[in-house]
Every structure is written in C-alpha cells, then in structure tokens.
Amino acid sequence: MEVQSKDDAFLELSIIVPVYNVSRYLPECLDSLIHQNVKNVEFICIDDGSTDDSLSILKEYSFRDPRFKVISKENEGYGKTMNLGLDQAKGKYIGVLESDDVVSDNAYSLLLEVAEESDADIVKGNIRFLSQEGCMEVETYRGFPYRKLIDPQNQLSILTAGISYWSGIYKREFLEENRIRFHETPGASYQDYSFYYLAVMCTEKMELIEDYIVNYRVDNTASSVHDPNKVFVICEECDHLRKEMDVRKLAEVYYDIEPLLRFEAYEWNYKRLLEYYKYPFMERFKKEFSALLHDGRIVRSLWDEDSYRRLEMLLDDPFSYYQKFARIQFDDMLDEYHRKLFRYSRKGIIEGLIGEGGIYIFGAGKTGALVFKLLENNGMNAADDIKGFLVSGKKEDESCFIGLQVFEVTELPGSERDRLVIIAVGKNNREMVKLILKENDYENVVIADDFFYEVFR
C-alpha cells in the first residue's frame, strides 16, 4: 500500500473519497472539493486498485493541492476502503464524497457551521440528481424540521427518508465511541446501508439543513447499481444491519421499524435491476416478507398507507406487483405464461407452454428429470413439445438424457434460442445459469421454482 501523507495540523473536517475506475468523472469531483472554503480540511482519496487513470489523476491533484492525501492499495472492496479512510481521518468531523459525484460550493462550511453551533453528531442536507441533461433538486427531507436537533428515536420517520449518507457530516468521536464502521464483504456493495442506519439509531442529536449538498450522479453505467452480479447483495446487507442491532441491543422501536427499512431497500433494489433480474429477486422479496408477516414482525402503525398497500400487493398478487414495477421486456407469450403461472390453472399453463412451439429444459440431471416428468404427466408430449435438454458443458457420453437429445447452449442456432427455456437446476445455481443463458442470447427463460412445482404437483 502506497501512502502520500501531509502534515497533520488541527483539522475541522476529513472528506473520504473512495475511488475505483472512475477517471471519466473524477476530475469534476476533485475540482468541486478544491472549491470548498473550509480551511482546515483533508481530502483522503483512496484508490481501490483502479486499472484506469484514476490513480494518476489523484496524484496530480495531490501535487497541486496539499489538502489531498492519496492512498493506493489493492482492490479489496468498498467496505474495507471506507474503513481505511475512517482510520486515516484526523478531522473533528468526517464526510464522504463518492468519486463520480460533485459537492456543491461551500457545502461543507454550511454543514460545519450548524454542527459546531448545535453539537450535533450528524448534520445532513438535501441532494440533486446529476446527469448529462443537468441537475434535478430532490428535497429528501421535505416535511422534516430544518435547523433543529432531532432525536431519531422520537421521530422514526427520519429513518424512512432514504440513506444518501454522503450528503452530510458525522462527528468522528461519535463514530468511534459507537464503533460505527462499514461492513467489510469482499466484492459486495451497498455497505453504506448498515453504516448509515446504525449511525442514526445510535445518535440522539441529528440536524438537517435545507441546502442542497451533493449532486448525485445517476447516469454512471459502471456504478454498482447496474451490476447484475449484485442482485441479492442488498439482502445480505439488511441481514448484517439486523445482526448489529441485536449485538448493540438498540431501542425496541428500531426493531419494529427495521422490516420497513428492509422493504424500502428491497424496493429500491428491485426497481433499479435490469428487467431480466426483477422476477427472481421478487421471489425472494415475497418469501422473506411472508415470513416476517407470519412471525408478527410487521408493525402496521409504522407503515404509511402507500407502503403497506404495496406490501399487500406483493404478498397477495405478486404478478400485479411484478407488472406494476417492471417494464417487462419478454415477448407476449412469455408474459402470458407468467400470468397463467400466477393466476390460472394447470391446464392453462400447459396450453401456454405448448403454444410456445416447443421448449427446452436446462439441466440434464435429477431436477431436469423431475421437471420433464411433471410436464409429461400434465399433458405435454415429449416428442413434439419438449425439444431436448440444455447444458453449459456436455460430457463425451452425454448425447441423450431420458430419451431426448442433450445440447450445449452454444450449439443451437439463433432461431432455436428464441424458444422458451425452463431452468431446472438447484436453487444455488439458478442465477449462474440465467447469466449463462443471457450471455448466449437466450431471452425467453423461466425458472422451475416453488411456484412452478406448486402448480404442477
């Protein structure tokens, strides 16, 4: 690890800038820091093993401006990068600026002024969405009192106003005393989730200002929110928050509202996913919240009418939920198949499958054989309706399986790849198989999941 350090004088503020392959946006981000009018400030820029020109850009700014401290390390993930920044920070207050975002002129001086006057542990402001088309103001805290100390335990709705943890500053002593750190999970994302909510749950002194602090970039296609390999990571981060709450024995009211925070996080994740991944995520979404409702974990009085209505739709009519929040890009027949799968009879589903003109089953093993048998028992003709089995890699003696031909996914011509494929593998392998099929231009895909087996048995 390479570190370029500066003299440590009394510092009012430390800004942590995590950097990974963001050279396209990095100069604009760093320029916005230069324009801040805080004198005693350090900008801790941590390059997490970038393979583009990001590190060179950081070193150039460090050479020109002594407020920049550059740290270069191997790629270890967001959580570890941020915790290194917390360890390095010397300021009385700590802020974070994502390396593709832009901080507003004089924003940090506004936050510091309020923090010093009120002795708040956390001071936050509003944000703007930033894209090539310009900026759009988002008053995150509309309806909340500005420039007045808030105890979140007495105003739980502050927790439902979103995270945007980088639109504020935090007293370093407060973070250290409460052991508030980032969740270190190699290759994961959304590790700001537990950091922010633990900070809010541990403080009794939070303050909001009406000013717009950060321009949050929404058109960076390299952002983690566009990464298909991170479809379910938010679930793990929500679980981590719950475990930390248990360890810290936080106030009971926070346990009551945690399912609502999880619901909002899952909905945010669901809406940002590529259409291809919405349905499998919705399956897990529904399963978890069915269990929470069964266990009495949903405290109705804490849910607003709109959120609770969406929860009911998810649990009672998941296809309607799926339609409402997904711009379905499948063809009409597959859309009809899903409608029947959720709502109609076994006979209707079989008719829909036969209407495909022949299907393939991915998985020449026990699960594939089970799906084949279920389809056959319910009226599908193996010779006419099931074209064969697909595998990612075929063994030398694997030309046939239970009387049908076995194909590698790369073998079939383009016209055959338009047919419906039913994924018949174990739960742990389904997402990987979907990616393999997607990479090989198979778009018409469904999963033999719990819904499927419930219908056909």
Q: Tell me the pLDDT tens digit for each residue of 108-162.
A: 999 999 999 999 999 999 998 877 666 788 888 989 999 999 999 999 999 999 8
- Asked whether the predicted pLDDT for residue 454 surpasses 80, the reply is no
Q: Tell me the pLDDT tens digit for each residue of 340-375.
A: 444 333 444 555 555 556 889 999 999 999 988 888
Instruction: Write down the pLDDT at residue 112.
Output: 97
What superfamily in CATH does domain 2-230 come from?
A: Spore Coat Polysaccharide Biosynthesis Protein SpsA; Chain A (3.90.550.10)
- Asked whether the predicted pLDDT for residue 445 surpasses 90, the reply is no
pTM: 0.70
At residue 267's C-alpha, the angle toward residues 297 and 150, to 5°, is 70
Mean pLDDT of 16-41: 95
Q: How many residues would you count in the chain?
A: 457
Tokens 């991170």 correspond to 230
Cα dihedral value 82, 87, 88, 91, nearest 10: 100
- Asked whether the predicted pLDDT for residue 316 surpasses 50, the reply is yes
Question: Mean pLDDT for the chain?
Answer: 85
Among 141-145, 215-219, 334-338, 347-351, which stretch is predicted with the lowest mean pLDDT? 334-338
Pairwise pLDDT comparison (353 vs 377), residue with the higher score: 377
Percent of the chain at pLDDT above 70? 83
CATH of the domain spanning 345-456: 3.40.50.20
Q: Which amino acid is at 223?
A: S
Q: Which residues of 14-31 are buried (b: 16+ CB within 10 A; e: fewer)?
A: bbbbbbbbbbebbeebbe
Instruction: Write down the pLDDT at residue 427.
Output: 83
- Asked whether the predicted pLDDT for residue 337 surpasses 70, the reply is no
Mean pLDDT of 67-77: 95
N- to C-terminal Cα separation, the chain: 58
Cβ atoms of 123 and 209 closer than 8 Å: yes
- Asked whether the predicted pLDDT for residue 46 surpasses 80, the reply is yes
- Asked whether the predicted pLDDT for residue 76 surpasses 70, the reply is yes
Residue 306 Cα to chain centre, angstroms: 22
Where do the structural domains in the chain lie, given as residue ranges?
A: 2-230, 233-325, 345-456
Mean pLDDT of 181-208: 89
Instruction: Write down the pLDDT at residue 183.
Output: 92
